[in-house]
A = this chain, B = another copy of it.
């Protein structure tokens, strides 16, 4: 008989992921990670809190915020700020770009190879480039 529990092994994988990034894998942090890292997505803090509720796993609001900031600080999330609404946390931390749909607020990931530059601006003296991020804003007519 096979006793593998997929949810359990997923939790083990997440614990390892957190530990690798110097984060103590507490129960609450693993629950937040379950919500975030099941796929590439861009969630607001509020969406994370709701998703936890739907999962039946409660984590206090303050801990969610602290955890999101902790994950972002350790490189497990990228904090996005694309419109004047609240911050979104991108579970895809590889370099990439975005298409931002006006009106719906929908965000679409663009792989880095889909954008190429033939010219980039000179950097200020002494500064070193950290990243180049492109946001293509689009509208759905109608």
Contacts and interface: CB of A to CB of B under 8 A. Distances in A.
B132 A136 contact: yes
A19 interface: no
Give the oligomeric copy count: 2
A58 to B, nearest CB: 25
Interface string A87-104: 100000000010101100
- Chain A at the B interface: SS class: strand
A133 interface: yes
Interface string A41-81: 00000000000000000000000000000000000000101
A115 B108 contact: no
A136 B128 CA distance: 10
A1 interface: no
Given A81-B83, A87-B84, A138 B124 contact: yes
A114 B124 contact: no
Q: How large is the interface on A (under 10, 10 to 19, 20 to 34, 35 or more residues)?
A: 35 or more
B141 A126 contact: yes
B115 A117 contact: yes
A27 interface: no
A134 B133 contact: yes
The 7 closest A-B pairs by CB, nearest first: A114-B121, A116-B119, A127-B138, A130-B137, A118-B118, A110-B121, A84-B87
Given A81-B84, A123-B138, A126-B140, 4 more contacts: A81-B81, A81-B83, A115-B117, A128-B141
